[in-house]
């Protein structure tokens, strides 16, 4: 078995995406579902309940009186913020550790992921596209392949960095040249194992190379911008911070300019307390 086959095989041994969260996501996508049904779905999971209450009572929301029940919290937060918290809980346990092959200290990849996810909402508001919870999910897990590839990137770190320096290729390309697969491709394989929709898989596969996508370009471009702006804000770029092409074309596609980028960065800054509250969720 080749290295690439072995590493893809490892994806199938990853724990499945939590069933409780999948059920809750489905309910939240169903316009006929009630708060009560959602509460009933998640209330038996202590970790989730604790996380929802912790974020709800965090400084970001500035509540005078703390919220003590899941039902109150769900009503207060609304479905879209609830989705954010549920998904952050899942990704946090997978992406909270240091990913030193990519020069990311403990917590950095996760902060980058949550920031990208919040940016996907900020951007979709500006470009007047519907706020799709699927995009939030895609932005949150776009770099998950780094976690699996980390040890190998670390092992080959000198060769990869040397290639970037001498040949002027992107870190992503160097990963692929040296290991036979890059983290974007591996992230897509992981998401495929979890049976996520094709749109999310595409957005993740092409998050560094948006112009190569032949379908679902809207999702691809939005995840690309979310990731890039998180990096421009200085959040979790690590070693592959500059592996980006297609910026001008994507900006042109949405008729965005530099001022918009500055605004996105400022809006993320306004939500940074929320980022902090969500990354405490484990
Ligand atoms: Fe990436
Ligand atoms: Fe990223």
Residues of the chain with pLDDT under 50: 282
Residue 243's pLDDT is: 59
What burial class does residue 166 get, using C-beta atoms within 10 Å of its C-beta: 0-12 exposed, 13-18 middle, 19+ buried? Answer: exposed
Residue 240's pLDDT is: 67
Ligand 1 centre to CA of 91 (Å) is 15
Average pLDDT of the chain to the nearest whole number: 89
Ligand 2 centre to CA of 141 (Å) is 9
Ligand nearest to the CA of 117: 2
Residue 84's pLDDT is: 84
Residue 162's pLDDT is: 94
Ligand 2 centre to CA of 159 (Å) is 22
Q: What is the pTM of this model?
A: 0.88
Domain count of the chain?
Answer: 1
Residue 15's pLDDT is: 78
Ligand 2 centre to CA of 229 (Å) is 10
Ligand nearest to the CA of 237: 2
What CATH number is associated with residue 65?
1.10.3210.10
Ligand 1 centre to CA of 143 (Å) is 5
Beta-carbon contacts of residue 166 (< 8 Å; ≥ 6 apart) = none
3 state DSSP class of 104: strand
Ligand 2 centre to CA of 49 (Å) is 28
Residue 281's pLDDT is: 56
Q: Which residues constitute the domain of residue 150?
A: 3-279
Ligand nearest to the CA of 225: 2
Residue 242's pLDDT is: 59
Residue 96's pLDDT is: 86
Ligand 1 centre to CA of 186 (Å) is 10
Ligand 1 centre to CA of 187 (Å) is 9
Under a CB-based contact definition with an 8 Å cutoff, are residues 40 and 23 in contact? no
DSSP 22: H
Closest to 145 measured CA to CA, from 14, 18, 235, 16? 14
Residue 166's pLDDT is: 94
Ligand 1 centre to CA of 64 (Å) is 39
Q: How far apart are CA 51 and CA 44, in angstroms?
A: 13
Residue 154's pLDDT is: 94
Ligand 2 centre to CA of 227 (Å) is 5
Cα torsion angle, 168, 169, 171, 177, sign = negative
Q: How far apart are CA 218 and CA 198, in angstroms?
A: 13
């Amino acid at each position: 078995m080749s290295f690439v086959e072995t590493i893809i095989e490892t994806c199938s041994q990853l724990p499945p995406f939590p069933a409780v969260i999948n059920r809750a996501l489905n309910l939240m996508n169903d316009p006929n579902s009630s708060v009560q049904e959602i509460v009933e779905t998640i209330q038996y999971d202590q970790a989730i309940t604790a996380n929802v209450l912790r974020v709800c009572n965090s400084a970001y929301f500035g509540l005078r009186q703390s919220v003590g029940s899941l039902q109150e919290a769900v009503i207060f937060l609304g479905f879209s913020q609830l989705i954010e918290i549920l998904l952050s809980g899942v990704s946090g346990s997978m992406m909270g550790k240091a990913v030193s092959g990519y020069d990311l200290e403990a917590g950095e990849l996760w902060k980058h992921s949550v920031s990208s996810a919040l940016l996907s909402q900020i951007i979709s508001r500006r470009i007047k596209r519907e706020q799709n919870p699927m995009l939030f999910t895609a932005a949150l897990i776009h770099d998950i392949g780094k976690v699996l590839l980390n040890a190998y990137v670390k092992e080959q770190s000198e060769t990869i960095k040397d290639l970037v320096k001498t040949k002027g290729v992107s870190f992503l390309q160097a990963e692929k040249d040296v290991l036979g697969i890059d983290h974007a491709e591996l992230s897509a394989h992981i998401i495929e194992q979890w049976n996520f929709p094709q749109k999310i898989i595409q957005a993740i596969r092409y998050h560094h190379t948006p112009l190569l996508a032949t379908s679902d370009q809207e999702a691809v471009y939005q995840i690309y911008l979310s990731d890039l702006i998180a990096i421009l804000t200085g959040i979790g770029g690590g070693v592959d911070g500059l592996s980006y092409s297609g910026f001008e074309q994507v900006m042109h596609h949405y008729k965005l300019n530099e001022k918009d980028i500055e605004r996105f960065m400022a809006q993320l800054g306004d939500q940074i307390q929320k980022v902090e509250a969500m990354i405490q969720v484990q």
